[in-house]
Amino acid sequence: MPQQAAGLPPDAVEVGRIRDAWGVRGALRIAPYSASPEALFSCRRWHALLAGGSTQPLHVTQVREAGGDDLVASVQGVGDRDAALALKGARLFIARADFPALPEGEYYWVDLIGLRVVNREGVDLGEVRDLLQTGAQHVLVVSFTENGKLRERLIPFVGAYIDDVQQEAGTIIADWQPDY
């Protein structure tokens, strides 16, 4: 992840990319990486990582839904189509500290990745590497090593199997067995 790039905050999270220009007044068509892009709607400080590796801060004045899953954003200093096209393909980052607060018991996926999953008996089940959205529920993709080989187990991220998420401790307690 390019948090090391000059100009990005140390807690930068990639949230989308600039797909194209929108209209003639410099608006940007954004492809968000989340089906629920709350951070893009609430944060006004975005950071664009351009193709050459340089960064550009973006001060968002307006963001709205467009057709499909895309968003349209207006940004200070980008006043025409040519200026917007110059940003096409840039990856968008937001500082994690700028994400809106969530209600108790809800989590951003980025905060779950890297947590250790331990069952009720204290058996280490592995580390969260990804999450899947299956429609009915979210599923933790947990990586572990067995006989020298990297493997994965899938654990539904629902109350029936997840007892507790302890972000400060870096663990998720699950009602799950290694042989499931």
**DSSP per-residue letters across 104-158:** TT---HHHHTT-EEEETT--EEEEEEEEEE-SS-EEEEEEEEETTEEEEEEEE-S
What three-state secondary structure class fits 85?
helix
Reported confidence tier of residue 4, pLDDT bands at 50, 70, 90: low
β-bridge partners, 86? none
pLDDT in tens, 14-62: 999 999 999 999 999 999 988 778 889 999 999 999 988 999 999 999 9
**Is the pLDDT assigned to residue 106 strictly greater than 90?**
no
pLDDT at site 67 = 78
Mean pLDDT of 94-117: 92
Reported confidence tier of residue 169, pLDDT bands at 50, 70, 90: very high
Please give the model's pTM, rounded to 2 decimal places: 0.78
Mean pLDDT of 88-111: 92
**Is the pLDDT assigned to residue 123 strictly greater than 80?**
yes
pLDDT at site 2 = 44
Average pLDDT, the chain: 92
What three-state secondary structure class fits 42?
helix
How many DSSP H helices and E strands does the chain contain? 3, 12
pLDDT at site 1 = 43
- Whole-number Å distance between alpha carbons of 47 and 40: 11
